[in-house]
Amino acid sequence: MTEEIPHVRSVAVGVWIDVGSRDEDALTNGISHFIEHMVFKGTKKRSSKAISRSIESVGGYLNAFTSKEHTCYYARALDEYAGLATDVLADLALNPLFPEKELEKEKGVVIEELRNAEDDPDDIIHDYLEKALYGTHPLGFPVIGTESNLRSFTKEVLDGYRARNYIPSRTVVAAAGNIRHDEFLELVHKNFPRKNSPSRSGTRRKPQSQRGRSIDVDKPIQQAHVCLGTLGFSIQSKERYTLLVLNTLLGDGMSSRLFQNVRERYGFAYNVYSFANMLSDAGSFGVYVGTDKAHINASTDLIMGELDKLKSKPVSKAEVSRTKAQLKGSMMLSLESIPHRMMRLGSSELYFGELTPLDSLLKHIDIVDAEHIQRLAQDLFREERFSKIVFHPSMSKADRSLGAANLAAANP
C-alpha cells in the first residue's frame, strides 16, 4: 500500500502483522509485545547495535508498537533512504535470532516497563476497565502481558509463535511520502520473499456482552482515578461515524461537554475525557476522570448526568454542526503527518481490505444528525452495562465509607 506525496522529502514505511494480544491465551499473554522487543536484539544480517544505528545514522528513526490486534514495525527517513528503511524493516520481521543472552536481559526491560505502567494510574486504569468489560476473553488481556508469563518465555516459544503468525497472508507493507508505487513494489519484492502462505491459524472469537462490574483498587497515589465504560461498536459497524461525533461532542477537547462541566464549571478535575476504541469485531466506550478523593462520587454523577442528557434531549443543530466541524478538521490536520498517513494505510488495509477515501469519510460524518446521536446514546448508555473502576489513594474501606458519607452530607 502506498500514498505518494511528491511535495515532501521524506517517506514513512511500515510492516504490519495481523497479530496482537487478542491472539494469545492465558499462558502466552504478552508474547506478541515481547517479540516486538526482541526483534531489535539481532537478526541474521544485523547486530542489535547495527539495527539501532541503521536509520538513525541517516537522520531518521525506527520504532514499533503492539496493540490488541496488530504489530507494526515502522521507520521514517529521507526519501533517498526508502530502500534502507524497507530493508531494515524486512530484516526485523523476517530474520530475528532471539539470542538467549539478550532474551534474559530483555525480560528484565519489559518487566520494568510493566512496573512503570503500574506506577502510571491514568494509563493502567484502562487495562483494568478492559478486563472488567471483556472478562476472560483475550481482549481483556493487557498487551504487555504478565511478569510470570514474561519470565517463562523461551527462544523456542518465540520462534514457534512468530513462525505461525508472521506469514505473508497476515502481512501488509505500507509507505507514505515521496515514493512511487512501482518503485516501492520493487523494494518489497526485493526484501520480502514471494512464497505460498498458510492461512490464519485459528479464528478470533467474538466477545460476549455481560453486566457491568464495579471494582475498587487502593493505590499509593495522591489523586483518585475513575474509568467508566461499556462495550461499544466494532470498526465495521454502521454506527462508527455517529460514535465518532458523539465522542467528540461528549469528551474530546476543551469545548466538550465533560470538560466544560466537570472541569470548567465545578473544578473537580484537571483531566477528563471520553474515548471510543473500535476493533475488528468489538469495541468499547468510556470516560476517564482524575479527581480528588472527596469528589469521586460527585464527578461520577456529573459524568452520568451528561450521558443521560444525551439520551433524553436532542443535541442542538448548532452544537452538532460545530462538533462535526471539529472532528473533520482534526482528521484533516492529522493527515499533515506523513507517519499518520502510513498508519492509516496499514490499518485500513487490515480492517477493510482497502483505503477509504477521505471524501467518503467526511460525507459519512456530514450525514450524522441530532437524531442519530440521541438514538446511539440510548442504545449505548445503559447503566446496567457500565463497568466502573476506581483507583483510591491508599486508605481503608472505613475511610472510604466515611468520605462518601461526608460528601453526601455536603451535597444533599
pLDDT of residue 411: 45
Residue 209 lies in a domain: no
Residue ending a domain, among 129, 160, 191, is: 191
pLDDT beyond 80 at 348: yes
User: Catalytic annotation on 36?
Assistant: yes
> Nine-digit cell at 204?
478470533
288 and 184 together in one domain: no
Q: How far apart are the first and last CA of the chain?
A: 59
Last residue of a domain, one of 159, 191, 223: 191
Whether residues 154 and 235 share a domain: the answer is no
For residue 65, count CB atoms less than 10 angstroms from its CB and return exposed for 0-12, middle for 13-18, buried for 19 or more. middle
Note whether 224 and 187 are same-domain residues: no
Provide mean pLDDT across the span 256-284: 97
* Long-range contacts formed by 123-130: CB under 8 A, 24+ apart: 125/225, 125/226, 125/227, 125/288, 125/389, 125/391, 126/227, 126/286, 126/288, 128/215, 128/217, 128/227, 128/389, 129/227, 129/229, 129/284, 129/286, 129/387, 129/389, 130/284
Spatial separation of the C-alpha atoms in residues 28 and 199, rounded to whole Å: 21
Structural domain contains residue 313 = yes
Residues 136, 14, single domain; the answer is yes
Mean pLDDT of all residues in 192-206: 76
Section 55-76 average pLDDT:
98
Burial class (CB in 10 A: 0-12, 13-18, 19+), 70: buried
Helices (H), 119-239: 121-134, 147-152, 155-165, 181-191
Q: How many CB atoms lie within 10 A of CB 199?
A: 7
The answer to the question of residue 196 being in a domain is no
Inside any domain, residue 205: no
For residue 404, give the nearest of 264, 251, 299, 273 by alpha carbon: 299
Check whether residue 275 and residue 160 sit in a common domain.
no
The confidence score (pLDDT) of residue 203 equals 76
- pLDDT category of residue 407 using cuts at 50, 70 and 90: very low
Tell whether the model's pLDDT for residue 406 goes beyond 50.
no
Residue % of the chain over a pLDDT of 70: 94
Residue/partner pairs of 349-358 with CB below 8 Å, 24 or more apart: 349/1, 349/16, 349/172, 349/174, 350/16, 350/18, 350/69, 350/70, 350/172, 351/235, 351/236, 351/280, 352/236, 355/1, 355/3, 358/331, 358/332
Do the domain assignments include residue 207? Answer: no
Distance, in Å, from the CA atom of 165 to the CA atom of 199, rounded to the nearest integer, reads 10
The pLDDT tens digits of the residues spanning 273-318 come to 999 999 999 999 999 999 999 999 999 999 999 999 999 999 999 9
Are 186 and 218 members of one domain? no
Domain range for residue 163?
A: 2-191
**Domain endpoint, select from 160, 191, 222:** 191
184 and 228 fall within a common domain: no
Nearby residues of 112 by Cβ (< 8 Å), 6 or more positions away:
none
Domain harbouring 272, CATH code: 3.30.830.10
Per-residue pLDDT at 397:
54
Sequential DSSP letters for 318-384: HHHHHHHHHHHHHHHHHTT-HHHHHHHHHHHHHHHSSPPPHHHHHHHHHH--HHHHHHHHHHH--GG
Chain segment 76-115, per-residue pLDDT in tens: 999 999 999 999 999 999 999 999 999 999 999 999 999 9
Residues 254 and 395 in one domain: yes
Does residue 62 sit in the same domain as residue 134?
yes
User: Does 268 reside within a domain?
Assistant: yes
Q: Could you give the CA distance from residue 31 to residue 300 in angstroms, rounded to a whole number?
A: 36
pTM of the full structure: 0.92
- Judge whether residue 403 has pLDDT over 80: no
Return the pLDDT at 408: 46
pLDDT tens digit sequence for 353-396: 999 899 999 999 999 999 999 999 999 999 999 999 999 998 55
Cell numbers for 58? 541517516
Lowest-confidence segment of 2-6, 194-198, 397-401 by average pLDDT: 397-401
CA distance 23 to 163: 14
Mean pLDDT of all residues in 135-162:
97
What pLDDT does 191 receive?
97
User: What domain count does the chain have?
Assistant: 2
Note whether residue 315 is domain-resident: yes
In a domain, 140, yes or no: yes
Note the pLDDT tens digit of each residue in 216-251: 999 999 999 999 999 999 999 999 999 999 999 999
Average pLDDT, the chain: 94
Same domain? 228 vs 179: no
Domain co-membership, 221 together with 156: no
pLDDT at 404 over 60: no
Would you place residue 201 in the very low, low, confident or very high pLDDT band (cuts 50, 70, 90)?
A: low
Catalytic residue, chosen from 24, 36, 130, 239, is 36
Shared-domain flag, residues 87 and 147:
yes
Point out the least confidently predicted range of 93-97, 294-298, 348-352, 406-410: 406-410
Distances (CA, A) of 249 to 53, 203, 374, 400: 44, 36, 12, 33
The pLDDT of residue 210 is 76
pLDDT, position 410: 42
